[in-house]
Structure 1
Amino acid sequence: MSTTTPRWGRKGTVIMGTVLLAALAFGTTTRTWLNVTLPATDVVTPDVAVSGSDAATAVTAFAVVGVAAALAAGIAGRIARWVIAVIIAVSGIGVAVASYRIITDPLQGAAGAIGKAIGVSSAEGTVAELTVMPYAALAIGILIALAGVWLALAGRYWTTSRRYAPTAEPAAGATAADSAEGTAAPGPDVRSRKDAASGPPVDEIDSWDRLTRGEDPTDPK
């Protein structure tokens, strides 16, 4: 991380803050969003509690996207961070819009639970009361959208670490010596060492005999 990065723009702060907001949005869906009172003449148990995951499934999906995008921002490059910032902003808007729809029309969010209870999605006399959770999800969704803007602004100060494998460079003296040795004709001593290393010629019979003794026939010894 660059030493000139302001405190508000630190990578860990931005990522963890965004992840926390998205996790809170997801957490609201595990709580009761609607308390539905059905007509007592239609069911034995007229009271039904509807969780956020049932009332607004989109909130759960957008919250998961927000968490994944925030975590991906930690290893993304400059251009990818801009794309991720847009994704986070869109996920926040999605959470807010889905929550607002439940707030403005509670019976719409309770339709699934009502259908399971009485067989139809609506009934005259049904009352759906909101809890505080849809309002909390709406506020958190707005904050997640702002976190996308926060990431876009803070990401300008982040540096992408790149590691390269070090390559060994031959010394100048060794290079010059290798070049000189490669261009010069081998001397008699060099030729004699090569001839000695190659050893005497080995015919097929000798090779077979050495192979049966468990020796390597290609070994010049």
Structure 2
Amino acid sequence: MRRARSMSVLAMLLAGAIGVISSTQTWIDVTLDDGAQQTLAVPGAEALPVLTPLSLAALALGAALSIVGPVLRYVFGALGLAIAALVGFGTVQMLAATPVSATAATVTDATGISGTDAVAALVSNLSLTPWPAVTLLAQVVLAAAAVFTLITARGWTSGASRKYRTATEAGADSGRPHDAIDSWDDLSRGDDPTA
């Protein structure tokens, strides 16, 4: 089941990384009807404001999933599914009908004109780049990883590797005499070595 954990972690990290990269890329090319037919590039972080923070959260979930215990595996799987649903829903809305409101901040910065109606009157054409579709695909991968985590988390091995466990925890007898370090370990566990 170590492979299942690795697959879940890598898929979440990949989806989060693609989301972060996508937030810096151009999602919408906006052509303004200002006489010069000026074209502005709207990055993903402005087109879909939740993209960057939720993608960073997916990255954090993926990294933390590699070390958490059984209960948090289910919590992180559910959170990953929620992130995929939120970002995926926003991206699908963008792909279905690109709202002018997604470009408002960029148009206002370039022209000084604000207000949804004023911006809509100034925009003559909106065209999407491939990045929203790439982001949607990343969210599908994130959702699949989250569901896979929820299904397989029970069978994952514990986070601590054998080399970090003491001889008592590992159930092995070292066959050597009890020394001062072993006495300190006994005290750490709450056992009195002098008793």
TM range (shorter): 0.7 to 0.9
Unpaired runs of 5+ in structure 2?
Answer: 170-183
Is the contact made by 1:38 and 1:46 (CA closer than 8 Å) also made in structure 2? yes
Q: 2:18 corresponds to which residue? A: 24
- Larger relative helix fraction: 2
1:77-102 deviation digits (Å, cap 9, x = unpaired): 11111001001111111111121222
**Are 2:108 and 1:115 aligned?**
yes
Q: TM-score, normalised by structure 2?
A: 0.74
CA contact (8 A) 1:85 1:151 kept: yes
Cα RMSD of the aligned pairs, angstroms, is 2.5
2-structure distance, mates of 1:70, 1:161: 14
Q: For 2:22 and 2:159, how far apart are their aligned partners in 1?
A: 36
Q: Distance in 2 between matches of 1:107 and 1:65?
A: 27
Go from structure 1 to structure 2 and tell me whether the alpha carbon gap of 1:83 and 1:35 turns closer, same or farther (over 3 Å shift).
Answer: same
- 1:134 equivalent to 2:132? Answer yes
Give 4+ residue runs of structure 1 displaced > 4 Å after superposition.
161-166, 168-171
Code of the aligned partner of 2:102: G
Conservation of the 8 A alpha-carbon contact between 1:25 and 1:60? yes
Alignment of 1:5-154 (within 5 A): 5=1, 7=3, 9=4, 11-41=5-35, 46-103=38-95, 104-118=97-111, 119-120=113-114, 121=116, 122-124=119-121, 126=123, 127-154=125-152
Measure the CA separation in 2 of the matches of 1:22 and 1:78.
Answer: 22
Larger radius of gyration: 1
Count of aligned positions: 165
Conserved? CA contact 1:35–1:50, under 8 Å: yes
For residues 44-103 of structure 1, give each alpha carbon's deviation from its aligned partner in whole angstroms, at most 9, with x where no partner exists.
671101111111121111111111111111121111110010011111111111212222
Question: Relative contact order (alpha carbons < 8 A, sep ≥ 6): 1 or 2 greater?
Answer: 2
Aligned to 1:34, what secondary structure does the other structure show? strand
Give the TM-score normalised by the residue count of structure 1.
0.66
Supply the distance in 2 between the matched residues of 1:111 and 1:161 (Cα, whole angstroms). Answer: 47
Where 1:75 maps in the other structure, the secondary structure is coil
Q: Identical aligned pairs, as a percentage?
A: 22
